[in-house]
Amino acid sequence: MALHDRISDPPTDFFTDNKSPDSVHIWNPQITSFIATQVAKHRPMVLVTSGGTIVPLEKNTVRFLDNFSAGTRGACSAEHFIRNGYAVIFLHRQFSLLPYSRHYSHSTHCFLDFMDLEDDGAGGLRTVILAQYEEEMRSVLKEYKRAKQENSLLVVSFITVTEYLFLLRDIAQCMAPLGSNALLYLAAAVSDFHLPPDKMSLHKIQSHGGRRLVLDLEPVPKFLRKLVEHWAPQAMIVSFKLETEERLLIPKCRAALKSYGHQLVIGNLLDRRKYEVILVQQDSERWIRVSDGELEDILVPEVIERHKRWAVKMKSSI
Ligand code: PMT
């Protein structure tokens, strides 16, 4: 069987079988107003998705399955997009890494280790940044403050795969009027399997009597096709492909491009994701490799170049 033949939709409609989560209605006014502000400023806009989705096993959730991702790719990329003049909607897994604060969280150092206490000369103490961290912290702080001042970042969060998909649909549809000025950069690690609501236990699954737990998960529908065809048909769509076996990476990137008809797949291997990625388009393949520093330093400007070319092409074809 060809790889792309395996990519198929399950027979049910995810969006009617699952109830729209409250968060979609809560976030919608902020998303709409953020987009309107950016349109007035003629800024290009990118939706960056980041972090892993969870699949709850119970409605009153005690246990769940998670998808691997710290959110580094997404948070780091968001900073680079903002630096390059984009407005960013950052749709991320709650408590995964955030742009700017990522430099000081989830590290082996506690953020308090970057600071010290000093005599204030008046019998008290004041907090200071340790000299060796000051320069870097000043530049991160400057960028963070500028992003806030210029209102170029909207942070939206999800937890479950259901919440992620509903929010993705809503944001993509809100961005659709931007046409080819919109870029969707889907770096989140999305679960391929889930437990539909009618199969989910209401309460905590009991383990008495040495019971085994056998999970029968259903496929999550492939949302990329809907994104390309219906939700934001003019936007440039960049998806990521994560594999652990090198021999599968390029064929799977190609299969995704062929199945969904979107513009760019960025492939990465789990253990080398920080140092190399491959950009796969219909007529090209390009590796980006770094030995130190952030890969996104090169990756994001490259994606932006391709987005510019896409926008020109779309505008000239109208
Ligand atoms: O956060 P880090 O630790 O830095 O890690 C970054 C990363 C490795 C998570 C990131 O670079 C990455 O590869 N993200 C995509 C992970 C992923 O979901 O890969 P996948 O091979 O399972 O899915 C591939 C594509 O299929 C996704 O881009 C998604 O848009 C699409 N998909 C997935 C599930 C689904 N039901 N429908 C889809 O269309």
Indicate if ligand 1 lies below 6 Å from the C-beta of 223.
Answer: yes
CATH number (domain holding residue 195): 3.40.50.10300
Please work out whether the CB of residue 264 comes within 6 Å of at least one atom of ligand 1.
no
Contact 112, 94 (CB under 8 A): no
265 pocket-lining for ligand 1 (C-beta < 6 Å)? no
ipTM, two decimals: 0.94
Encoded tokens for 246: 């090198």
Among residues 270, 307, 267, the alpha carbon closest in space to that of 287 is found at 267
Query: Does any ligand 1 atom lie closer than 6 A to the CB of residue 190?
Result: yes
Helix (H, G, I), strand (E, B) or coil at 19: coil
- Neighbour-count burial of 209, counting CB atoms closer than 10 A to its CB (0-12 exposed, 13-18 middle, 19+ buried): exposed
Q: Is 97 in the pocket of ligand 1 (CB under 6 A)?
A: no
Which of 12, 166, 241, 278 gets mutated to test ligand 1 (max ligand atoms within 8 A of its CB)? Answer: 241
Indicate if the alpha-carbon torsion angle 233, 234, 235, 236 is positive or negative: positive
Closest C-alpha residue for ligand 1 atom 5: 69
Instruction: Work out which ligand 1 atom sits closest to the CA atom of 188.
Output: 14
pLDDT in the model for residue 77: 98
The whole-number pLDDT of residue 7 equals 38
Given this model, what pLDDT does residue 12 score?
A: 58
- How many angstroms is it from 158 CA to the middle of ligand 1? 15
Cα–ligand 1 centroid distance for 274 (angstroms): 15
For 289, residues 6+ apart whose C-beta sits below 8 A from its C-beta are 275, 276
pLDDT of residue 141: 97
Pairing of strands 87-93, 45-50: parallel
Whole-angstrom distance, CA of residue 223 vs CA of residue 221: 6
The preferred substitution site among 3, 167, 240 for testing ligand 1, maximizing ligand atoms within 8 Å of CB, is: 240
Q: Are 66 and 52 in contact (CB under 8 A)?
A: yes
Is the separation of the CB atoms in 62 and 181 below 8 Å?
Answer: no
Query: What pTM does this model have?
Result: 0.94
Ligand 1 pocket residue status of 239, Cβ below 6 Å:
yes
Protein residue whose Cα sits closest to atom 18 of ligand 1: 189
Hey, which residues does 286 pair with through a beta bridge?
Answer: 279
Q: How far apart are the C-alpha atoms of 37 and 59, rounded to whole Å? A: 38
Q: Which of 242, 262, 271 gets mutated to test ligand 1 (max ligand atoms within 8 A of its CB)?
A: 242
Query: Can you give the residue range of the structural domain that contains 35?
Result: 3-316
Alpha-carbon span 201 to 308, nearest angstrom: 48
pLDDT in tens, the chain (318 residues): 333 333 344 445 889 989 999 999 999 999 999 999 999 999 999 999 999 999 999 999 999 999 999 999 999 999 999 999 999 999 999 999 999 999 998 777 788 999 999 999 999 999 999 999 999 999 999 999 999 999 999 999 999 999 999 999 999 999 999 999 999 999 999 999 999 999 999 999 998 888 899 999 999 999 999 999 999 999 999 999 999 999 999 999 999 999 999 999 999 999 999 999 999 999 999 999 999 999 999 999 999 999 999 999 998 887
Question: Domain tally for the chain?
Answer: 1
Which residue's alpha carbon is at the smallest distance from atom 24 of ligand 1? 241
227 lines ligand 1 (CB under 6 A): no
